[in-house]
Amino acid sequence: MAIATSILVFLHVLGATMVVGIWIANFKKGIVVPGQFHAALLQIVTGFALYFIMMSNLGSESNTMFHMYVGIKMLLGIIVAIAAFFGQKKYKQARATGNLEAARNIPLAHTVGGLGLINIAIATILL
């Protein structure tokens, strides 16, 4: 089970890195690319899997589980995924027409990246 947990943690961190890294790379453009949506989904799936693994080990290892902490992180992850979905949808439409300037949506792009960064801060600072 330790190997599975380590792989899930790696994939979870990789998803967070992709969300924030792509945001930083496209900071001035103000676009959301499909990779951010896929990375947000990766974070949600691995986050739920890690949560259920921790819940199954709760009694045996006498771990403490902070449900509010996990709930806030999951809520932020879902908001990031929804915002990234709409942003990548706009990007795909703009790419299909050949006008990438139409994909520009600064508030949506900064919502995805900023909330992803806040989610990383919560994971590293408050745990």
What does the pLDDT read at residue 117? 96
Range of the structural domain that residue 7 is part of: 2-125
Is the pTM higher than 0.85? yes
Task: Report whether pLDDT(61) > 60.
Answer: no
Helix (H, G, I), strand (E, B) or coil at 59: helix
What does the pLDDT read at residue 55? 85
Amino acid identity at 62: S
HSE at residue 97, side-chain half, CA atoms within 13 A, is 10
Count: domains in the chain: 1
Residue 38: C-alpha distances to residues 12, 59, 112, 122, 125 (Å): 12, 34, 12, 21, 25
* CB 32 within 8 Å of CB 110: no
* CB 71 within 8 Å of CB 119: no
